[in-house]
């Protein structure tokens, strides 16, 4: 009997040890599973954070400024990205021969970086200026020109491929200003810029530079500038350019944001 009792005791101890071994094994499995779950959660969380961070829109930089966006548009149009860059070196030794018809209607479609405006040219009032403008436009002389002098409520001035305010096509011509009236230059008037000093109603220094009147300051100009056209469509585009100009008190007229002509197309009807 004692030997049977010891046998039962040994069997009991063996059973308890086996039970403890199974319990420890289960605990190890549970711990392993918990570790796997934690690791998986960390990985998923990291991926989420990385993805979320990557989808956040980037902060705006200097490259998204109005001028930078326009420069990108200029590049697509084949124009220089630097506002003060020279766009062509065309020079002519004399005023072009007359090729316009006195009975035809000529319009100039001026495509800019903010839209298109249309000028109806007045060859009856200013045949020399219109003929010169049509000649240069067809040669691509005005393509990519900046509006180098823009003054709010006054003018948008362009037509200088050097962007300096001193450029010319190599020739100059004389033609009279408008007849005295009030105002001589209604808003939307297109006239030749000149460098006559003192001012005269028959300026002799007309070349390629021209301007569009945008407000009261322009309307009150003396009749010393050859009036050769009128904006008949897209005046809002002209005013967009003017809105980025220098203050009305400025004389230099350096715009705060430069705008550029992309192309001028002449139509005859």
Q: Can you name the residues that pair with 17 across neighbouring β-strands?
A: none
- pLDDT tens digits for range 122-142: 999 999 999 999 999 999 999
What per-residue confidence (pLDDT) applies to 54? 42
Topology annotation, domain 84-268 = Cyclophilin (2.40.100)
Annotated domain spans of the chain: 84-268
- pTM for the model stands at 0.77
Mean pLDDT of all residues in 96-120: 97
pLDDT single digits (tens) 163-206: 999 999 999 999 999 987 778 999 999 999 999 988 899 999 99
* pLDDT score, position 191: 98
Average per-residue pLDDT in the chain? 86
Indicate the pLDDT class of residue 33, thresholds 50, 70 and 90: low
């Amino acid at each position: 009997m004692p030997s049977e009792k010891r046998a039962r005791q040994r069997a009991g101890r063996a059973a308890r040890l086996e039970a403890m071994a199974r319990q420890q094994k289960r605990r190890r499995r549970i711990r392993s599973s918990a570790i796997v779950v934690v690791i998986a959660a960390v990985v998923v969380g990291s991926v989420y954070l990385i993805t979320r961070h990557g989808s956040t829109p980037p902060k705006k930089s200097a490259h998204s400024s109005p001028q930078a966006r326009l420069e990108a548009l200029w590049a697509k149009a084949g124009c220089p990205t630097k506002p003060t860059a020279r766009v062509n070196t065309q020079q002519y030794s004399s005023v072009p021969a007359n090729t316009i018809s006195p009975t035809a209607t000529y319009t100039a479609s001026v495509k800019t970086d903010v839209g298109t405006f249309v000028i109806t040219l007045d060859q009856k009032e200013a045949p020399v200026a219109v003929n010169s403008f049509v000649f240069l436009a067809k040669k691509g002389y005005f393509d990519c020109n900046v509006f180098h002098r823009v003054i709010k409520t006054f003018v948008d001035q362009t037509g200088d491929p050097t962007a300096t305010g001193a450029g010319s096509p190599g020739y100059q011509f004389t033609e009279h200003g408008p007849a005295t009236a009030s105002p001589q230059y209604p808003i939307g008037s297109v006239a030749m810029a000149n460098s006559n000093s003192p001012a005269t109603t028959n300026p002799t220094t007309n070349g390629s530079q021209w301007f569009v009147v945008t407000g009261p300051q322009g309307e009150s100009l003396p009749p010393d500038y050859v009036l050769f056209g009128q904006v008949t469509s897209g005046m809002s585009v002209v005013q967009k350019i003017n809105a980025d100009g220098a203050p009305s008190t400025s004389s230099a007229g350096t715009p705060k944001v430069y705008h550029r002509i992309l192309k001028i197309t002449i139509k005859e009807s």
